[in-house]
């Protein structure tokens, strides 16, 4: 009986919860952003933006205002090895589930990412909802120089990317969407870019714009803001936008575009693959540099708008398919879904077949208003 009581007592003690794995809050520091750059000997330089750390007070006195974050960096053969070094520098436990931004330097993106970014799949405490940005300069320099309205710059960038008003300008990509497309045939990766503002008096202000285009795990080039807007329409990232048409004698008309819908259909004729692309929507005249009688000019404006949008789409598709050889709009995935037997034949040679695809474009916008008050 005494042995049974002793056993039950021991069992109840084992079932009690304890605090052996507890980490005090003052021992944690939140990683707000992760910056990745190419380093010598195929190594990677990792920069972590740590929010609200305990910063040392300047030796000169209390007159210098301290930033509510600090940047730590280290170089290693892998991301994990570099982060271990930063862990010793920060002297705190690094908390990754609240990471807002993964910032990739252009030089590293062009070198190749697949082997490095496997880290994000393997580390269970990483935030796979972090937003991805490609920096035209080094990620470290961007994190060091950035000055935004928010106390921590990465928080400002996250709010901008998560908003809905900016979506016509460029795609928005989270890390869980970005990683699989680095080695996916038929739907390849892209990411919005970030660069230092060229406007006078905006020292340290960063602009988010343009699109970094990848072929497999390597970045191959950039799209402009207008080209990024078109890609956003084709991937259904946005259903609105703006467009400026050029009329004769250097006159121009600006349109606001809404209710944009894109339909992509693969077609095979005599063994040759074509992409039939139909783009529809509603246009509203915002401004014009020329006097117009809208009751008479509306058919002309509609014709000019449709023709120039078609030309812009054609140039963007040529840049993607022929110049970059990249399928960031997911045409291969559409072919796989609609014509699986045809995709099976073409999958192995998709990178070369993509450059030979005939693109047939039809654009139809109707003009709903001509600058009238709603």
Q: Map out the domains of the chain as residue ranges.
A: 29-55+66-223, 236-374
- The answer to whether 142 and 153 have CB atoms below 8 angstroms apart is no
pLDDT in tens, 257-304: 999 999 999 999 988 999 999 999 999 998 888 887 777 788 888 999
Task: Say whether pLDDT at 3 is over 70.
Answer: no
Residue 173 has pLDDT above 60, yes or no: yes
- The answer to whether residue 76 scores a pLDDT higher than 50 is yes
Is 80 a residue whose pLDDT tops 50? yes
Token pair of 7 as six digits: 């056993």
pLDDT tens-place string over residues 188-242: 999 999 999 877 566 778 999 999 999 999 999 999 999 999 999 999 888 899 9
pLDDT at 153 over 80: yes
pLDDT of residue 197: 84
Looking at residue 93, its pLDDT comes to 87
**What confidence score (pLDDT) does residue 288 get?**
85
More confident residue, 84 or 52: 84
Given the candidates 3.30.300.210, 3.30.470.10, 2.60.40.1120, 3.40.50.1000, the CATH classification of the domain at 236-374 is: 3.30.300.210
**Is 124 or 336 the better-scoring residue by pLDDT?**
336
pLDDT at 61 over 70: no
* Maximum pairwise Cα distance, the chain: 105
- Number of Cβ atoms within 10 Å of the Cβ of 52: 14
Q: How confident is the model at residue 10 (pLDDT cuts 50, 70, 90)?
A: low
Q: How many CB atoms lie within 10 A of CB 221?
A: 15
Which among 264, 170, 165, 178 has a CA at the least distance from the CA of 222? 170
- Bridge partners of 93, per DSSP, are 28
Better-scored residue on pLDDT, 251 or 140: 140
Average pLDDT over residues 15-23: 52
More confident position, 7 or 86: 86
In contact, 157 and 133? CB cutoff 8 Å = yes
Q: Look at residue 109 in the predicted model and tell me its pLDDT.
A: 97
Which of 65-79, 132-146, 154-168, 263-277 is the least confident region?
154-168
User: What confidence score (pLDDT) does residue 291 get?
Assistant: 80
How far is it, in rounded angstroms, from Cα 309 to Cα 286? 17
Whole-number pLDDT of residue 256: 92
Average pLDDT over residues 308-329: 96
pLDDT for the residue 58:
43
How much is the pLDDT for 254?
A: 92
Average pLDDT taken over every residue of the chain? 86
278 has which bridge partners?
Answer: 263, 362
pLDDT reading at 168 higher than 80? no
Q: Cα dihedral sign for 313, 336, 173, 164?
A: positive
72 pLDDT higher than 80: yes
Highest mean pLDDT among 55-64, 121-130, 243-252: 121-130
The pLDDT value given to residue 287:
85
């Amino acid at each position: 009986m005494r042995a049974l009581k002793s056993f039950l007592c021991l069992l109840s003690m084992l079932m009690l919860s304890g605090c052996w794995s507890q980490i005090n809050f003052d021992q944690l520091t939140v990683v707000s952003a992760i910056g990745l750059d190419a380093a010598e000997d195929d190594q990677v330089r990792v920069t972590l933006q740590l929010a609200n750390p305990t910063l040392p007070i300047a030796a000169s006195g209390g007159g210098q205002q301290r930033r509510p974050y600090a940047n730590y960096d280290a170089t290693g053969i892998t991301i994990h090895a570099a982060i271990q070094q930063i862990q010793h520098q920060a002297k705190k436990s690094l908390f990754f589930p609240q990471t807002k931004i993964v910032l990739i330097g252009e030089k590293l993106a062009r070198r190749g990412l697949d082997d490095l970014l496997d880290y994000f799949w393997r580390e269970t405490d990483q935030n796979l909802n972090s937003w991805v940005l490609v920096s035209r300069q080094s990620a470290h320099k961007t994190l060091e120089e950035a000055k935004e309205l928010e106390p921590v710059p990465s928080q400002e960038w996250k709010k901008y990317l998560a908003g809905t008003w900016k979506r016509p300008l460029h795609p928005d990509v989270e890390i869980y969407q970005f990683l699989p497309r680095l080695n996916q045939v038929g739907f390849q990766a892209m990411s919005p870019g970030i660069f230092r503002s060229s406007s006078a008096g905006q020292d340290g202000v960063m602009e988010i714009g343009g699109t970094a285009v990848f072929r497999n795990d390597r970045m191959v080039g950039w799209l402009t803001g207008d080209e990024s807007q078109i890609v956003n329409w084709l991937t259904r990232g946005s259903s609105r936008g703006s467009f400026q048409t050029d009329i004769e004698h250097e006159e121009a008309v600006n349109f606001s575009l809404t209710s944009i819908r894109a339909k992509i259909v693969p077609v095979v004729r005599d063994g040759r693959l074509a992409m039939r692309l139909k783009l529809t929507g509603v246009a509203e005249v915002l401004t014009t540099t020329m006097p117009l009688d809208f009751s008479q000019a509306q058919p002309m404006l509609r014709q000019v708008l449709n023709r120039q949008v078609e030309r812009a789409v054609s140039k963007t598709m040529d840049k993607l398919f022929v110049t970059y050889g990249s399928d960031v709009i997911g045409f291969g995935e559409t072919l796989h879904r609609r014509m699986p037997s045809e995709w099976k034949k073409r999958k192995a040679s998709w990178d070369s077949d993509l450059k030979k695809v005939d693109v047939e474009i039809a654009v139809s916008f109707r003009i709903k208003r001509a600058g009238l008050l709603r």
